[in-house]
Amino acid sequence: MLKKIFIMMSLIVSAFALTINSSYAVLVEKSVTFDVISIHEVGEELRKVVTVEENMYEKLSAYTGWDQSFNNQNNPYPLTIKKGSLSYEGRLSHRYHLTWNTYIYTLGIKFDEAWSSIAFYPNDFTIASTNPIHITIGQGLFSTSNRGMNFNNVIGSYSLHGLFESEIIDENGTNVDDVSEIPLTSGTLANAFDISKVGYVYFEYDANDLFDTYIVLNGNQYNLGQLKLPGVKELNREPISPGIYYSENGKQYLYYEFVDSTSQVPINDQALSFIDDIDNVKGFRPFVSMNLTDGTYVFTDKLKLYAAYHDGGNGKAFADVLFPMQLDDLLAIEMEYSYRYQYYWGLNYSPWATRKIARVKDEVVDMVNTWQHVTNWMLSPALGIYDAISTLSGWTSGETITPVTDLNNTYKNKYLETINLAQSRRNHDALTMDQVFTPNVSMYRVYLDTLAEFGSTGYQVHDDIIILSATYKYEGDIYHVGYEDIDVVTGGGSSDVVTELERLLQMFTDFQTFIASVDWNNAFTIIIAVVVGIVGLMLLNPLILIIKLIFGGIRLAFLGVINLIKIIFKIPGQLFNLLKLLFIPKKKNKYKRSYRK
């Protein structure tokens, strides 16, 4: 029994009072038919009178349920119009024409990429003009913007198809005792906007935590009875009507979201993300996905993400961000992380520094930082020229957001190891592969920065990588999820200990590969190489002068230090002489005077 299934799977065990109590009308696909029997000239090129032989104003009023005060002239209602095997884009509006003092239904139809329309009036009506046009109750005024139109093609049988509100009445539906009594759908959640491919689910709060639940599928109403819905108790919110009923791989599902109490959109006007105007869906909404066939459900109150550090080599640091669904694309992400530099291969570290980044889709940056460019030029002319060519050509640049598509077992194991090492350092339980890599996940690599500076032998990214916001496209819709709606588990790591010699050897190897790839038999290539060489020598000349100045300064400093040492060593002797002069009396010489006689 369906009711027993939901009683078993419900988490709600105690009574509570919802802060909101509302009911919803059902959107039902309705159709109506009419025939254009003939078409008549009225003396104007783009206007004709068509005969339908029935009161179409009255028929359209019954079809739409709109009263005479209803006016949607500036916002026509979308329709699908069928004529035989052909389908056309259509629209329907109602208004009061103040000048003509009459009500009008205007049916728009798009023939050959140009809009045409038929106007229907509640009574016989005459349009006052130089040649007055008289329209009877069984006729309509046809107008078009297509000067090359063949008006004979307008004649035929038409059917209109659109979604209109209708009240839920228990007696009009089929009471369901088992989910197998509900037909499977031709579409899935991705087709939620198309009512012909999925069913819409409506909830009306009754009492004692129970909701009257109805599924409307292909114009038929199925009454599921009163259900306790997961997520309602936890959030103290009502589910949004309509939810979506769909089937996939032979199993039946029910999907619903919860009202956003902070939204400026009135609760009764809030609609599902999959079918709503994107202006009404500003961010992430908690949702429940029920497997009606198996009697299980998943309640998601926050967007669950994982982020693990990835070493890109040569100082490039990335974070691989795992989403629980297959995104159309990651458009932007804002992150904050801490890092520090290693010295003497991990024997010493710099203090932690915090950095905030904002990356957007198709953003391209140079991933070789300033210090690396400087060292390339200082260490070797060949490396300097190669570095300049690489930078100017964009070889050292890369996109800051890229999808990771090859999620093989080796990659997954390394990713899980990074996460669990961080979990261990936090004294949290380790996660399993199935917990992290659920079905239909998607992974994106986000560039953090190139962390390399003078004297460092590597770097370390802290375990706590914070995701401040994410903007992504999913099932055709765009979502912006803020920090408060994101639940993220992260793991940091350290760069591989790569010596400068190894890095230089790799650069020499890359340079040799570049030289080998050049077609030296091509005269144009030779000319370019000569020009690049001349420019390189011109650039090297001031660099050589700078190096000479540096080494000249070092030489002067060395000589200064030597002289200082000499002076220091002379100080004890000078000091001794001074003390000797002050404290040891000098001997007096006695001279004998001699007198000459």
Instruction: Judge if 158 and 180 occupy the same domain.
Output: no
Q: Is 262 left (phi over 0), alpha (psi -120 to 50) or beta?
A: alpha
Q: In this predicted structure, what is the pLDDT of residue 7?
A: 29
Number of domains composing the chain: 3
Q: In this predicted structure, what is the pLDDT of residue 11?
A: 29
Q: In this predicted structure, what is the pLDDT of residue 432?
A: 93
Q: In this predicted structure, what is the pLDDT of residue 507?
A: 55
DSSP 456-521: --EEEE-S--EEEEEEEEETTEEEEEEGGGEEEEEE-EE-----HHHHHHHHHHHHHHHHHHS-TT
Instruction: Judge if 389 and 320 occupy the same domain.
Output: yes
* Domain carrying residue 362: 306-482
Q: Report the alpha-carbon distance of residue 259 to residue 34 in Å, rounded.
A: 40
Q: In this predicted structure, what is the pLDDT of residue 14?
A: 27
The verdict on residue 94 lying in a domain is yes
Q: Report the alpha-carbon distance of residue 229 to residue 18 in Å, rounded.
A: 13
Instruction: Judge if 278 and 318 occupy the same domain.
Output: no
* Coil/strand/helix, residue 157: strand
The verdict on residue 431 lying in a domain is yes
Instruction: Judge if 94 and 190 occupy the same domain.
Output: no
Instruction: Judge if 85 and 139 occupy the same domain.
Output: yes
Instruction: Judge if 409 and 380 occupy the same domain.
Output: yes
Instruction: Judge if 270 and 333 occupy the same domain.
Output: no
Task: Please give the distance of CA 44 from its chain centroid, rounded to a whole number.
Answer: 53
Instruction: Judge if 59 and 131 occupy the same domain.
Output: yes
Q: In this predicted structure, what is the pLDDT of residue 6?
A: 34
Asked which of 264, 281, 300 is the last residue of a domain, the reply is: 300
The verdict on residue 274 lying in a domain is yes
The verdict on residue 585 lying in a domain is no
Q: In this predicted structure, what is the pLDDT of residue 523?
A: 57
The verdict on residue 577 lying in a domain is no
Q: In this predicted structure, what is the pLDDT of residue 524?
A: 59
Instruction: Judge if 176 and 159 occupy the same domain.
Output: no
pTM: 0.48
Asked which of 166, 182, 216 is the last residue of a domain, the reply is: 166
Q: Residue 481's beta-bridge partner residues? A: 470
Q: In this predicted structure, what is the pLDDT of residue 548?
A: 61
| Distance between first and last Cα of the chain | 159
Asked which of 300, 335, 358 is the last residue of a domain, the reply is: 300
Instruction: Judge if 178 and 162 occupy the same domain.
Output: no
Q: What is the DSSP letter of 325?
A: S
Q: In what order do the strands lie in the sheet with 77-83?
A: 26-36, 156-166, 77-83, 86-97, 102-111, 114-120, 139-144, 47-51, 38-41
Q: In this predicted structure, what is the pLDDT of residue 580?
A: 66
The verdict on residue 587 lying in a domain is no
Q: In this predicted structure, what is the pLDDT of residue 16?
A: 30
* E strand segments, 167-198: 174-175
Q: In this predicted structure, what is the pLDDT of residue 239?
A: 86
Q: In this predicted structure, what is the pLDDT of residue 568?
A: 72
Cβ contact 11:226 at 8 Å: no
Q: In what order do the strands lie in the sheet with 211-217?
A: 174-175, 220-227, 211-217, 199-205, 243-248, 251-257, 287-291, 296-300
The verdict on residue 273 lying in a domain is yes
Looking at the chain, how many residues does it have?
597
Q: For every one of its 597 residues, what pLDDT tens digit does the chain have, with 9 covering 90 and above?
A: 333 333 223 322 222 333 333 444 566 678 899 999 999 988 888 899 999 999 999 999 999 889 889 999 998 998 999 998 899 999 999 999 998 899 999 999 999 889 999 999 999 999 887 788 999 999 999 999 888 888 888 999 999 988 776 666 666 788 888 888 999 999 888 787 777 889 989 888 887 778 888 898 887 889 888 888 888 877 777 888 888 999 999 999 999 888 655 544 444 444 455 554 444 444 567 888 888 888 888 887 788 899 999 998 888 999 999 998 889 999 999 999 999 998 876 678 899 999 999 999 999 887 776 555 555 544 445 545 545 555 544 456 789 999 999 999 999 999 999 999 999 999 999 999 988 998 889 999 999 998 887 777 889 999 999 999 998 988 777 778 888 889 899 999 998 755 444 554 555 565 566 666 656 566 555 666 666 666 655 555 555 665 666 666 666 666 776 777 777 767 776 776 766 666 666 555 554 554 454
Instruction: Judge if 151 and 197 occupy the same domain.
Output: no
Output the CA torsion sign for 496, 501, 505, 508: positive
Q: What pairing do the DSSP bridges indicate for beta strands 243-248 and 199-205?
A: antiparallel
Instruction: Judge if 157 and 50 occupy the same domain.
Output: yes
